[in-house]
Chain A
Amino acid sequence: MDEKNYIIDLKNVSKIFDGVTVVDNFNLYVKKGEFITFLGPSGCGKSTTLRMIAGFEFPSKGEILLKGKDITNLPPNKRPINMVFQRYALFPHLDVYDNVAFGLRLKKIPIELKDENGNPILKINKEKVKQVKEDIRHTKRNKVLTNEEKENKLAELNEKLQHLLNNPEQAYKYRKLSNQEIDSKVARALKIVDLDSLEDRDISTLSGGQQQRVAIARAIVNEPEILLLDEPLGALDLKMRKDMQLELKEMHEKLGITFIYVTHDQEEALTMSDTIVVMKDGEIQQIGTPKMIYDEPKNAFVADFIGESNIFNATMIDKLKVRFLNTNFVCLDDYPLNEKVDVVVRPEDVVLTEVNKGHLNGIIKNRIFKGVNYEYTIMINKNELLVKDTKEYPLDKEVGLIIEPNSIHIMKKDFVTNIYTDAYISKDNKVCIDDAPFECNLTQLLPGSFIDEEGYLVSKDKKKKYNLTDALVVAEVDINDIEIIDNIDSDEAKVVGEIVDLVYKGDHYQLIVRTDNEEDFVCVTPYTYNLYDKVGININKDKIRLRLKKELSEYEA
């Protein structure tokens, strides 16, 4: 592949902080002029990845190429990349003009050195030699690489160093930009962000939106190859944010600079990006256009994170036929017979109709008026289905539901982890999965926190308390961490279910234990069970990973 087409190329990049892997084997290339968004919940490694591209962090493993050149260990001031910071980071001691001119005043323009005959003067490139020596130092200090990897890398770098020392290159002298040049560039940048009338103002006298614009002007005035934006709209109010989204998009088209944008707001990502990279726990979940990611999410996490969605466990029962909600549906995705799959149905794709006229029936349990439409929660036996419809229906009415084949998206089931998207926290700080309380470790929701005697989650500095009773959470349990209890009457059996599926995988069985409420627990065991055996389920409290559906701050007591 011709790498020159890519403006930036991250190859097997990993970042490990004190033994914790924050970014795991990240591979991504970005085409010139693209608007790419890193999307994910907080702590998914998206900001760290951005900071590695900016040069504030250096990767523990892997390399970053800018236009094919290795910039892995290049300091931020030597990269043609500029960043718009989350809280803008404007210099308060300078006014708007001087903030924007800051980068230009430091800029050095190279001029080729020539001797009297006009031939280029050749010198050993000291800058590059210094950088290679720096690379060698970084490699020697790296604690993550194995000795063999280190030696190979060092040998490669030493060879590069010898090459540089033996081959003089074109020498340059540098000049600064003249005041006229700076002035015209600043004026142009301020015009692009509509701030030309405010250049003499102090930063502290500007509104949040204006500060945002100064931050953008300060970055784009340097004509970077890539503009990095780290949740730049997070501090603005909703209306302002919407306006800025469109403006940023427009600016991107006008400037033709590559934008790399970081956000946890899925709507922002869908509105603005050419490409979205969905991340979770330092790993890329899916890369694609907004439409692709919305319509064809790769797994339950992506489907749940992007937009509202109904996700159900389903089984393929025939060619192009899938069963979920106790109903058989025709679908368009072809999966092997009896394969356990996840099904995503977007709320706006379900059509409400009269009883018995649809594929299945349900009862309207809740209705919220949302302006453009109504949002209904419909109970189908014990399952909830979220539906958006413009027509008004009364509560508790039984309705028919039509789910067309093209609105059913089937995803390969992620068999490594059981994901329970409708879990909640009970009064005694247990997590209820399928209405059964499991002991869990709530302190994982806030690093360094603990539970006090009254059952509140208390932050590390003891300043904030959270009451998590009834908080909706997504619980995840690895299939290896689910214990099967043979004696279904013992206290250890928190839930009881029937083995509905049994696959022999060489040296172990993979079971699906289905409870009366149709919740599935996928687990592995070396022992032999029979289909339809009744067994109990228990989960070690430290093995349940929790993620709040809302922000933690909403539960502050």
Chain B
Amino acid sequence: MVKKILAYSYIYIILFLMYVPILVLIAFSFTNSTYIGEWNGLSFDLYVNLFKDTEILVALGNTIIIALISSVVSTCLGTLGAIGAYYSKKRSRAIVENINQIPVVNSEIVIALSLTVMFVFLGNYIFKENIFSFWTLLIGHVILSVPFVYLNVKPKLSQMDPSLYEAALDLGCSPRIALRKVLVPQITPGIVSGFMLSITLSLDDFIVTAFTRGPGLLSGEANIETLSTLIQAKIKKGPIPMNMRPLTTIIFLVVLLAAIIVTIVKNKNKSKVKMRRGRVG
């Protein structure tokens, strides 16, 4: 009985702490008061304003572009790294694994600062110009998320029967086809979760972004502005921008929708009728 009460109270407290603030946020996105906490009556003004606010839209666009590109790059690198390490000798695998651990436990500010120092150094002595741009930002985000992709793919590899790859070769696959037809399908869940995690890391990131960004993307000649850097810049000067309220509401709803779709796809009934190409009658 006590256990039950504790279990339920745990769930309710978590739900309360997580979702009540979001519900409050959603409610206040439907009023046009400047300050949070004032209710000026129901209004869709903020939503209309949001789509006129080029500053926020540019930042949103930048954020999404960087998140997608950096996630694709780091997913490829992390997955290949994990596969390579898995089939390496014990010693080299241990080395790769330990090197991979360090950025995970290391504080972000160290990564950000060291990258900045390196980019300044390279710019001063090798390229002889300021190299801060989209590319430096991309490198920063990839470095941030590669170890997490590796960590997501690795357990899937260790769960796998190690002779599957050899079985594929034995049945006539070249090493490349064996990788694509047998290995990758086995570790797809790990790759997907690694990809999702790197998107999340990149979307949220402020420190590395602030240190490594340069001009480019939708911001044109100005420094690339992402949502996190934009909000930081805004709240330095005044209140939380009003248009952030509808934007975060939309982001929450999109994520919710994505989560629901993923769940449905996962639980989809697998008993579909199988078609055999080449079957006569």
A binds B: yes
Which residues of chain A have a CB within 8 Å of any CB of chain B? 54-56, 75-77, 81-83, 85-93, 95, 97, 102-103, 106-107, 178-183, 200, 218-219, 222
By a CB distance below 8 angstroms, the chain B residues around A81 are: 170
Could you give, for residues 237-281 of chain B, a 1 whenever the CB lies within 8 Å of some chain A CB and a 0 otherwise?
000000000000000000000000000000000000010111110
- A222, B173: Cα distance in complex, Å: 13
- A521, B85: Cα distance in complex, Å: 50
Besides A77-B172, A91-B182, A102-B168, 20 new A-B residue pairs in contact (Cβ under 8 A), listed by A number: A77-B173, A81-B170, A82-B171, A83-B167, A85-B163, A87-B161, A87-B163, A89-B163, A91-B164, A91-B167, A92-B186, A93-B186, A97-B276, A103-B171, A103-B172, A106-B173, A179-B278, A200-B274, A218-B171, A222-B172
Partner of A180 from B166, B171, B278 at Cβ < 8 Å: B278
- Could you name 7 residue pairs across A and B whose Cβ atoms are closer than 8 Å? A54-B166, A56-B166, A56-B169, A77-B172, A83-B166, A87-B161, A218-B171
By a CB distance below 8 angstroms, the chain A residues around B123 are: none
Q: Knowing A56-B166, A95-B274 are in contact, say whether A183-B279 is a contact too (CB < 8 A).
A: yes
B170, A77: Cβ atoms under 8 Å? Answer: yes
Closest CB of chain A to B269's CB: distance in Å? 14
- A77, B181: Cα distance in complex, Å: 14
By a CB distance below 8 angstroms, the chain B residues around A83 are: 166-167, 170
Closest CB of chain A to B201's CB: distance in Å? 28
Q: Which residue of A lies closest to B172 (CB)?
A: A106
B186, A107: Cβ atoms under 8 Å? Answer: no
Partner of B278 from A54, A90, A182 at Cβ < 8 Å: A182
By a CB distance below 8 angstroms, the chain A residues around B171 are: 77, 82, 102-103, 106, 218, 222
A178, B278: Cβ atoms under 8 Å? Answer: yes
B280, A89: Cβ atoms under 8 Å? Answer: no
The A contact surface, by secondary structure, is mixed
A179, B161: Cβ atoms under 8 Å? Answer: no
By a CB distance below 8 angstroms, the chain A residues around B161 are: 87-89
Which residues of chain B from 154 to 199 have a CB within 8 Å of any chain A CB?
161, 163-164, 166-174, 177, 181-182, 185-186
Q: Which residue of A lies closest to B167 (CB)?
A: A89
By a CB distance below 8 angstroms, the chain B residues around A97 are: 274, 276
By a CB distance below 8 angstroms, the chain B residues around A82 are: 170-171
By a CB distance below 8 angstroms, the chain B residues around A77 are: 169-174
- A157, B181: Cα distance in complex, Å: 34
By a CB distance below 8 angstroms, the chain B residues around A107 are: 172
Closest CB of chain A to B97's CB: distance in Å? 16
Most buried by A among B172, B173, B181: B172
Q: Which residue of A lies closest to B270 (CB)?
A: A202
Q: Knowing A76-B169, A82-B170 are in contact, say whether A89-B164 is a contact too (CB < 8 A).
A: yes
Q: Which residue of B lies closest to A80 (CB)?
A: B172
A76, B276: Cβ atoms under 8 Å? Answer: no
- Please tell me the number of chain B residues within 8 Å of chain A, measured between CB atoms: 23
Q: Which residue of B lies closest to A202 (CB)?
A: B270
- A486, B80: Cα distance in complex, Å: 66
Q: Which residue of A lies closest to B279 (CB)?
A: A183
- A85, B162: Cα distance in complex, Å: 11
Closest CB of chain A to B44's CB: distance in Å? 48
- A82, B170: Cα distance in complex, Å: 6
Which residues of chain B from 92 to 115 have a CB within 8 Å of any chain A CB?
none
Q: Which residue of A lies closest to B164 (CB)?
A: A89
By a CB distance below 8 angstroms, the chain B residues around A200 are: 274
B274, A76: Cβ atoms under 8 Å? Answer: no
By a CB distance below 8 angstroms, the chain A residues around B166 are: 54, 56, 76, 83, 85, 89
- A90, B186: Cα distance in complex, Å: 12
Q: Which 3 pairs of residues, A with B, have the shortest CB-CB distance?
A: A179-B278, A103-B171, A89-B167
Q: Which residue of B lies closest to A97 (CB)?
A: B276
- A95, B171: Cα distance in complex, Å: 16
By a CB distance below 8 angstroms, the chain B residues around A85 are: 163, 166-167
By a CB distance below 8 angstroms, the chain B residues around A219 are: 170
- A222, B171: Cα distance in complex, Å: 8
By a CB distance below 8 angstroms, the chain A residues around B185 are: 91, 93
By a CB distance below 8 angstroms, the chain A residues around B279 are: 183
- A178, B173: Cα distance in complex, Å: 18
Q: Which residue of A lies closest to B182 (CB)?
A: A91
- A179, B164: Cα distance in complex, Å: 25
Partner of A183 from B177, B181, B186, B278 at Cβ < 8 Å: B278
A179, B277: Cβ atoms under 8 Å? Answer: yes
A76, B170: Cβ atoms under 8 Å? Answer: yes
Q: Which residue of A lies closest to B277 (CB)?
A: A179
By a CB distance below 8 angstroms, the chain B residues around A76 are: 166, 169-170
By a CB distance below 8 angstroms, the chain A residues around B276 are: 97, 183
Q: Which residue of B lies closest to A81 (CB)?
A: B170
Which residues of chain B from 131 to 152 have a CB within 8 Å of any chain A CB?
none
Q: Which residue of B lies closest to A187 (CB)?
A: B279
A54, B170: Cβ atoms under 8 Å? Answer: yes
- A320, B279: Cα distance in complex, Å: 71
By a CB distance below 8 angstroms, the chain A residues around B173 are: 77, 106
Closest CB of chain A to B219's CB: distance in Å? 43
Q: Which residue of A lies closest to B274 (CB)?
A: A200
Closest CB of chain B to A115's CB: distance in Å? 30
By a CB distance below 8 angstroms, the chain B residues around A89 are: 161, 163-164, 166-167
- A92, B164: Cα distance in complex, Å: 9
- A75, B168: Cα distance in complex, Å: 12
- A92, B279: Cα distance in complex, Å: 23
Closest CB of chain A to B55's CB: distance in Å? 46
Closest CB of chain B to A258's CB: distance in Å? 16
Closest CB of chain B to A89's CB: distance in Å? 4
By a CB distance below 8 angstroms, the chain B residues around A179 are: 277-278
By a CB distance below 8 angstroms, the chain A residues around B174 are: 77
- A92, B185: Cα distance in complex, Å: 9
Partner of B177 from A86, A88, A106, A222 at Cβ < 8 Å: A106
By a CB distance below 8 angstroms, the chain A residues around B170 are: 54-55, 76-77, 81-83, 219
- A542, B126: Cα distance in complex, Å: 60
Q: Which residue of B lies closest to A200 (CB)?
A: B274
- A49, B223: Cα distance in complex, Å: 63
Which residues of chain B from 11 to 35 have a CB within 8 Å of any chain A CB?
none
Most buried by A among B170, B182, B276, B280: B170
Most buried by B among A55, A92, A97, A181: A92
Most buried by B among A54, A106, A181: A106
- A179, B149: Cα distance in complex, Å: 38
- A200, B6: Cα distance in complex, Å: 46
- A308, B164: Cα distance in complex, Å: 38
By a CB distance below 8 angstroms, the chain A residues around B280 are: 180, 183
- A374, B260: Cα distance in complex, Å: 68
By a CB distance below 8 angstroms, the chain B residues around A91 are: 164, 167-168, 182, 185
B169, A75: Cβ atoms under 8 Å? Answer: yes
Most buried by B among A93, A107, A219: A93
